[in-house]
Amino acid sequence: MVRLLTDSEVEKGLKKFTGWKRDGKFITKTYSFETFLEGIAFIDVVAAVAEKEEHHPDIHVRYTEVTLSLQTHDHGGVTEWDLELAGAIERAASPRETKKGL
């Protein structure tokens, strides 16, 4: 059974990942790329991961920056599913992400 994580559980889970932070009832990370098209290609990678995990992020694009926001919408906050998806995204993203702006 999925349950909302406590603040301390979320903070502990986020320590496993670089750049992810708590933002209200979400966990978020902004990825930066050299070009707009690299960011869009990254979204394709995220979409494939999200489909496989059957859990989907909110995605905001601002030119060469892509911000992902995760929460388990049915539960109104962060669950273990969100931390698992963040990890899956990190594994898929690492060779694509640039270090610009991070």
Angle at which helix 36-53 crosses helix 80-93, to 10 degrees, equals: 140
With CA atoms as reference, report the closest residue to 43 among 22, 24, 61. Answer: 61
Over the stretch 57-70, which tens digit does the pLDDT of each residue have?
999 999 999 999 99
pLDDT classification of 82: cutoffs 50, 70, 90: very high
Rounded to two decimals, the pTM is: 0.90
The Cα–Cα gap between 40 and 58 comes to: 14
Computed over every residue of the chain, the mean pLDDT equals 92
> What are the structural domains, with CATH classification, of the chain?
7-93 (3.30.1360.20)
